[in-house]
């Protein structure tokens, strides 16, 4: 197992919610990463952000780890959930709320409803 793979695995195991993204939650470096980080932030979800631009081994390693070609990538309680389009769809359909409920992840239900109301 490579150092990058070990680091990725440990990060996912040691944090309930992890977003592998371009940039950071406070300074996203792409629109897709910004959208997912903003949704999580607005919903009050505590998450660990991993800036893949800081380490090429992590950037490629997370794609290999998940067998998913794009970034951002969201993990909840060790499970790969998806990228920007999937997270957007899940947020608007209420599936993301259900996932957080099922996994025991705290979030602001009213904020989730506001996102749906604003985009409905």
Alpha helices in 15-83, H assignment, sequence order: 31-42, 56-66
84 annotated to a ligand binding site: no
Q: Which two tokens stand for residue 15?
A: 């944090």
Q: How far apart are CA 80 and CA 35, in angstroms?
A: 18
Only one residue has tokens 């631009």, namely 53
Q: State the distance between the two ends of the chain, measured CA to CA, in whole angstroms.
A: 45
Q: Binding-site residues, please?
A: 30
Q: Binding-site residues for [2Fe-2S] cluster, please?
A: 30
């Amino acid at each position: 197992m490579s150092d990058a793979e070990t680091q990725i695995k440990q990060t996912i195991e040691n944090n309930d919610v992890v977003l592998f993204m371009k940039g950071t939650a406070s300074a996203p470096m792409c629109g897709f990463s910004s959208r997912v980080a903003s949704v999580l932030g607005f919903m009050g979800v505590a998450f660990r952000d991993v800036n893949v631009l800081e380490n090429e081994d992590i950037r490629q390693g997370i794609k290999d780890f998940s067998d998913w070609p794009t970034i951002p990538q969201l993990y909840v309680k060790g499970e790969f959930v998806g990228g920007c389009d999937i997270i957007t769809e899940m947020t608007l359909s209420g599936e993301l709320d259900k996932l957080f409920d099922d996994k025991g992840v705290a979030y602001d239900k009213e904020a989730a409803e506001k996102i749906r109301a604003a985009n409905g």
